[in-house]
Amino acid sequence: MAAFSYAFAANVASSSLCLNGYAPHRYRVFNCRASSSSSEESSAKSENTKGIFSFVTDNPSSRNAIQLENTPAQDGNLGQMITEIEDKGREFGSYKRAGEFSWFVRETGALDAKNGTIVFLHGAPTQSYSYRVVIEKMGEAGYHCYAPDWIGYGFSERPQPKYGFSYTEEAYHEELDKLLNRLGIDAPFFLVTQGFIVGSYGLTWALKNSDRVAKLIVLNGPLTPSAPLPSVFQQMRLPFIGEFTCQNAMLAERFVEGGSTYVLDLNDADVYRLPYLDSSDPGFALLESTRKAPLNELSARIEAGFVSGRWNVPTMVAWGVTDKYLPTSEAENFAKRNSEVIHVQLLEGAGHLPQEDWPEKVVEALLKFF
């Protein structure tokens, strides 16, 4: 979670920093991590303190990217990093076994919450950690909230592709049904979805189970066949290139930052990075789910399924307008096809992950809609 320093605030003070009375959740700066002073300091390190992997870890670019402390790089930095951050990011979470797999599920609010149950589904390549502030506030507001990590993502189980889990849309739907049963969610609930691939599977699940959805909230994600596909997913669909791309430990955090004008706080970046540092399995799970996703056909089904006459569940599209992956027209055109049921709430100052960028605005929109 970001915390503004007074010096930083003084340098960038403007009315845009406090839109509608809120302060942004993350640093409101252009996406860059480097500073000339830190680069100069890194390059000035003594050659005598470098280990055998110094060509990787002890240069201005790599040191800045992996965000290590400004101390001489030593052998074993990776293991040291994992040890230091391995307990981060478990807020409100516990493991729930549903069927054959173990899900990591964040939960807030009381079981008998007066206002009902909300299920929050994240998109690729992130995790439920992005909802941590939203579910805390919604729990305090009288809702019972669940935010699971999809199978293969975050801290949930990561079965190897072709060994017990296929990473297809149908497989994800089946496992989600098992999880909802395990959680005892029988009555219609509020569903919140966001993002690419598994986020889209949340929408197609809703189309097949509209009687189980009391209201639907759609945060930024592909809603029409014209939605552009971020380059990271294009790369992962290519032979050989995908195998290398999916093993980039900073893939998730860079995806989060790439979708907005904010830079993650270092503690939050650690959490997004941790699953990819800890094992190669999350990368291969992401690779498999990306390659198995029928992307064009998936978006076409979403667009067609929510048109007037087919979908009558009250729906709000809460859209971060500074999304660098998807234009605002994606939300507006989607809503126009069923304007009596679907309406758009624009979230100024938020990017591709509004729940991470500016969770207070997401909470405000949810409370108003519910």
- Paired strand residues for 216: 191, 315
Q: Count other Cβ atoms within 10 Å, centred on residue 17.
A: 14
Which residues are within 8 A (CB) of 368 and not within 5 positions of it... i.e. 6 or more apart?
345
Provide the pLDDT for residue 89. Answer: 86
Of the candidates 270, 272, 229, the one whose C-alpha atom is nearest the C-alpha of residue 126 is 272
Tell me the pTM: 0.81
14-71: pLDDT as tens digits: 334 444 445 566 554 444 443 334 444 444 444 444 444 444 445 444 444 544 444 4
What residues of the chain score a pLDDT lower than 50?
Answer: 1-21, 28-57, 59-64, 66-75
Q: Could you tell me which of 13, 66, 12, 10 has the C-alpha nearest to residue 38?
A: 66
d(CA 142, CA 329): 33
- The position carrying tokens 């699971």 is 148
Decide: 214 and 116 in contact? Cβ < 8 Å: yes
